[in-house]
Amino acid sequence: MGSIVEHKKVGKDGKEVIQFRAHVRRKGFAPKSKVCRTLKEAKEWLRNNEADSTLKKASQGKTFSDLLDDFTALGDCRYAAMPHLDFWLDQFGPRKVIDITHGDIAGAVLVLRQKTAIRSSPGGNLTTERKLSPATVNRYLATLSAVFSFAIDHCVIDTHPMKGGRVKKLKEGNGRQRILSADEETRLLDAAKQSEWPMMWLFLRMLLTTSARRSEVNNL
């Protein structure tokens, strides 16, 4: 609840000075106050801060499922893969966002590392026997981090549960890069034209031109 208290004091010039102190007190929040020169200024500050407290309190009640609905509806998921969001929804869906800790996330990572990898193909997704690579796990974490950053931007939480080293990325291998020569690229595209799948040539052409991942081109 908010209140405004009038204070009178004598200034350095000996004249009486009137000030107005606005207070906001709400259960579950630290009290806030400000000294204003005019009653109008105090009322405006009080109105803005009461509205902010109400909004923040309502937002803190969001579940992770609610947060993902907002995240996808507002278009902030354009860089997030839907399988990533589906996994985190399974892990945290009914939980209040404000209650999710770095320990909860670390536990979910253990579950994630037991998942088998899915390979994209022209005929659809294929489940393999391999576990997810550290690089793939890190991309899942990057998606979750984007969701929590969205939550902070919209006053759902005050602190990011993954920042400051709370949740560490997995160490990735250096990998091996193979760059095709011009002749190899030509022969590869010629072979693609002989494929039973009519889109193979275009598919490979897009991969070679954009350097995108196979899954990213599949999702276009």
**Close Cβ partners of 28 (under 8 Å, ≥ 6 residues apart):** 57
CA dihedral sign, ordered 87, 91, 97, 102: negative
The span from the CA of 200 to the CA of 191, in Å, is 9
**pLDDT value of residue 18:** 84
* Residue whose C-alpha is closest to residue 91's, from 76, 80, 106, 78: 106
Record the pTM.
Answer: 0.54
Q: State the DSSP code for 37.
A: S
- DSSP H/E element including 7: strand 2-10
**pLDDT value of residue 52:** 63
* Residue whose C-alpha is closest to residue 208's, from 183, 167, 179: 179
**Close Cβ partners of 149 (under 8 Å, ≥ 6 residues apart):** 160
The span from the CA of 133 to the CA of 175, in Å, is 11
**Cα dihedral 147/148/152/156 (nearest 10):** 90
- The 3-state DSSP composition of the chain as helix, strand, coil percent (nearest 5) reads 45, 20, 35
**pLDDT value of residue 166:** 76
162 by Cβ neighbours in 10 Å (0-12 / 13-18 / 19+) ranks as buried
Tell me the pLDDT of the chain (220 aa) as tens digits.
678 888 787 777 778 888 888 877 665 555 677 888 888 888 888 888 776 655 455 555 789 998 998 888 876 666 567 889 999 999 999 999 989 999 999 999 999 998 887 766 666 666 677 888 888 899 999 999 999 998 998 888 888 999 877 788 888 875 566 677 888 888 888 998 888 888 888 888 888 777 677 766 666 6
34-40: Cβ within 8 A, 24+ apart: 35/7, 39/4, 39/6
**pLDDT value of residue 57:** 54
